[in-house]
């Protein structure tokens, strides 16, 4: 079973991503509202992929990336940023802190599934 964590403070966005990702075979989507919840969930069990917003209360996506890099349970999990932030600084900061991909909102569900599938296939082949 593939386990994907969707981290976004917007309930509608989490719901749409969950619906989008549940179309992938053998996939379970879990949700968090911020980076602090995401770290706690990541410590509960193995994750295969994290989809992460940047702008969130409590702990934003960039802080999550910084903290997860030093966390052995999370550091190897691929992270895809999925955010409304389109400025170069946000993109560069995300990639610099370890994000594997960057998707802007509003997103195309087919594009999200294709990118997620590619990253999962890459991880499985390692």
Domain ranges of the chain: 2-124
Q: Cα(91)–Cα(83) distance, rounded to whole angstroms? A: 10
pLDDT for the residue 45: 87
> What per-residue confidence (pLDDT) applies to 32?
98
SS3 sequence of the chain: CEEEEEECCCHHHHHHHHHHHCCCCCEEEEEECCHHHHHHHHHHCCCCEEEECCCCCCCCHHHHHHHHHCCCCCCCCCEEEEECCCCHHHHHHHHHCCCCEEEECCCCHHHHHHHHHHHHHHHHCC
Contact predicate 80/51, CB 8 Å = yes
Tens of pLDDT, residues 16-47: 999 999 999 999 999 999 999 999 999 998 99
Mean pLDDT of the chain: 95
Residues of the chain below pLDDT 50: none
What Cα–Cα distance (Å) separates residue 33 from each residue in 3, 15, 53?
Answer: 17, 12, 9
Contact call for residues 26 and 17 (beta carbons, < 8 A): no
Give the total residue count for the chain: 126
Supply the pLDDT for residue 124.
80
pLDDT at 21: 97
The CATH architecture assigned to 2-124 reads 3-Layer(aba) Sandwich (3.40)
87 φ/ψ angles, rounded to the nearest 5 degrees: -75, 150
């Amino acid at each position: 079973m593939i386990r994907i964590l969707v981290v976004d403070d917007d309930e509608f966005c989490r719901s749409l991503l969950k619906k989008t990702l549940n179309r992938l075979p053998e996939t379970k989507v879990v949700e968090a509202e911020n980076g602090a919840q995401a770290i706690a969930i990541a410590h509960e069990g193995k994750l295969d992929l994290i989809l992460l917003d940047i702008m969130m209360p409590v702990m934003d996506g960039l802080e999550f990336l910084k903290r997860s890099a030093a966390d052995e349970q999370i550091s190897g999990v691929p992270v895809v940023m999925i955010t409304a932030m389109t400025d170069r600084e946000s993109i560069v900061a995300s990639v610099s802190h370890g994000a594997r991909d960057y998707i802007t909102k509003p997103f195309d569900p087919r594009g999200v599934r294709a990118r997620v599938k590619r990253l999962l296939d890459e991880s499985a082949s390692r």
